[in-house]
Amino acid sequence: MRDDLDPDHPLARLYPEVVAGGFTRHDGFVEFFSRINALLPDKADVLDFGAGRGGWTDAPLSPYHRRLRDFRAAGHRVVGVDVDEVVTENPSVDEAHVITPGERLPLADDAFDLVFADHVLEHVDHADAPFVVSELQRVLRPGGWFAGRTPNKWGMIGVGARMVPNDLHVRVLEKLQPGRQERDVFPTRYAMNTRRDLARLFPADRWNLFVYGHASEPQYAGSSTAAWRAASLVDRLTPPRLQPTLMVFAQLAQPRPSTTA
């Protein structure tokens, strides 16, 4: 269990199973990174797309969360890319590159077994989205996987975020998530955040795409148990296609064998 978790915090009060291993039955972090670990071959080459400063390394996570997330400790090679120079200070990658939106990634073709983007797709501009996917296709090996966790544009979080101007996001998040740092808040675009957009960007002739909705614990509800209860009830009543988070897994198709004689 997380050592810092107050027993009176809504997470502990509403999800008492958190004492058994440090995570709840709705934990989106565990859901996302467990599936990534299941997809990784031994000694894989992994690309953290939008790696940032590696904020998870100093976050209050349980030991189990850290084992799921620390790919280097599991023997994998991890490369991180980000538009922000803080990626060069990220302690969880073996190699870091600062990239420019719309420009080719400074990485070789067919270099990675898996690319993941954790809460990154919502920041991609509409004009850049097709190029981003083409670059993911270029750097992945045939049969490799792309994994993304991102807000659903039509989910409660996505709708709420789009109602707040980008320049006010920091102020709003300070109230909802007091531990959230300003340097970890970025403008949202929602160009890759619907099933329809993802199906268009990851076409079936090149990708095997799997997308499903997920509702984690309502961390955005602050410290009010009543607010957590209300948000949890809304999540339970929400149709699957409108759940707040999209889990995205896309496998790059293997090249078809030649039929020529």
Q: How far apart, in whole angstroms, are the C-alpha atoms of residue 199 and residue 99?
A: 26
Q: Residue 122 — very low, low, confident or very high, per pLDDT cuts 50/70/90?
A: very high
Q: How far apart, in whole angstroms, are the C-alpha atoms of residue 180 and residue 178?
A: 6
Which of 149, 175, 184, 162 has its CA nearest to residue 227? 175
Do strands 45-49 and 77-82 pair parallel, antiparallel, or not at all (unpaired)?
parallel
Report whether pLDDT(221) > 50. yes
Q: Where do the domains of the chain lie, and which CATH numbers do they carry?
A: 10-252 (3.40.50.150)
Least confident of 4-18, 90-104, 110-124: 4-18
pLDDT, tens only, 95-113:
999 999 999 999 999 999 9
- Radius of gyration from C-alpha coordinates of the chain: 19
Do strands 140-151 and 207-214 pair parallel, antiparallel, or not at all (unpaired)?
unpaired
Q: How far apart, in whole angstroms, are the C-alpha atoms of residue 225 and residue 242?
A: 23
pLDDT, tens only, 136-162:
999 999 999 999 999 999 987 767 666
pLDDT cut 70: percent of the chain above it: 85
Do strands 45-49 and 112-118 pair parallel, antiparallel, or not at all (unpaired)?
parallel
Angle at 77 between CA 256 and CA 43, to 5 degrees: 65
For tokens 């148990």, the residue is 225
- Please give the C-alpha separations between residue 215 and each of 20, 32, 36, 151, 190, in angstroms, as whole numbers: 20, 12, 18, 10, 18
At residue 78, φ and ψ (nearest 5 deg) are: -120, 125
What is the sign of the dihedral through the CA atoms of 176, 65, 75 and 46?
A: negative
Say what the pLDDT of residue 240 is. Answer: 84
